[in-house]
Amino acid sequence: MAKVVAEKGLKGLEEINIVVGTPIRPMLAERLSSSQEIIDKVGGKMSLEYKLDGERLQIHVKKKQVNIFSRKLENITNHYPDVSSIMSEINIENIIVEAEAVAINKENGSYLPFQELMHRRRKHKIEEAVKNYPISINLFDIIFFDNEDLTDSSYERRRKILNSIVKKNKKLDIVKNKIIQSAEEIDNFLEQSIEEGCEGLVIKDLQGTYRAGAREYLWIKLKREYKSEMSDTLDLVVIGAIYGKGKRVNRYGALLLAAYDKEEDMFRSFCKVGTGFSDEQLKIIYEKLQKCIIKDKHAMVDSKNGSRCMVQTKHSIRNHWI
């Protein structure tokens, strides 16, 4: 590229075309710390996507020949023979898609932590690793499709093309998304993503193009740890636990917490928390709360969320803290 600029100037860049099989620098996301900041920055309708805890893959297919590149543009095709097999079955002459590969539980299909996926990054016994650590292939963008460069197309159009590909190929998934236009919807979808074992959200401008190598506000990352509304600590009590999904299946993905109202002698639900826990901590929390299950909401608990599928705990009684 430097040679092209030196010989032909900036206009020479217009002559550079995408070549299937040659990696492209990935588009990157900026970050903001609140849903309202995102609304102010993007405005109007936008797409919320789950941010999965996996490895980003750039997958090139040309006449059934598959090449897979990492975020750092390394050729990692050999680590994903199962992805190559599935993508080679697509009845499209040439295509470049981006996907998140996530390790899954062989028994129930739930998401596993990123560290499990890294067992595939080995030089030997790759077939064994593929067998022991199956993955789901979650498409989230498309850069090139049937001889057409899509980098100047809107995200909205690119997403529609992705949907059509997934409908025809049942072995592929597409990252879950939702079109919204309010801060409250962002917060609600963020909580949902965390309960289902994801890292957070990526918010995308529906009219945004694909800016290879750029980090811009056309894509915005949002995680709970980015939020900074509270600077003090609180003493809260666990009054309920909600089963998780994804990599948190069969354990609690979020806890309902309450604050003690001294004047009314009641515990009033205050918030739900689902981030900041390690896998080991989640295991310990689940095991401990199994001993505390009670049939109905305690009489001293005031919770507007009581109708949800929650397991209440006997430690919601005054002066019992978890």
Tokens of 120: 């595939």
Where do we find the tokens 């901590």?
A: 281
Question: Is the four-CA dihedral 188, 301, 268, 228 of positive or negative sign?
Answer: negative
Q: Is the pTM of this model over 0.85?
A: no
Top-level CATH class of 14-226? alpha beta
User: Rounded to 5 degrees, what angle do the CA atoms 92, 98, 103 make?
Assistant: 110
pLDDT at 232: 59
CATH match for 237-316 among 2.40.50.140, 2.60.120.460, 3.20.20.70, 3.40.50.12140: 2.40.50.140
* CA 171/CA 189 separation, integer angstroms: 26
Give the DSSP H or E segment for 272. Answer: strand 266-273
pLDDT tens per residue across span 291-311: 888 777 777 787 765 544 454
pLDDT at 17: 87
pLDDT at 300: 78
* CA 130/CA 295 separation, integer angstroms: 43
pLDDT at 146: 93
Going from N- to C-terminal start, the domains of the chain cover 14-226, 237-316
Catalytic residue among 8, 51, 262, 283: 51
Looking at residue 26, the DSSP 8-state letter turns out to be: P
* CA 202/CA 38 separation, integer angstroms: 11
pLDDT tens per residue across span 188-213: 999 999 888 888 999 999 999 999 99
pLDDT at 320: 30
pLDDT at 318: 35
pLDDT at 149: 96
pLDDT at 312: 47
pLDDT at 186: 95
pLDDT at 316: 40
Where do we find the tokens 């499209």?
A: 92
Asked if 202 and 221 touch (Cβ cutoff 8 Å), the reply is yes
Q: At what angle do helices 35-42 and 183-195 cross, to 10 degrees?
A: 130
Which residues in the chain land under pLDDT 50?
A: 4-5, 12-13, 231, 307-309, 311-322
45 among known catalytic residues: no
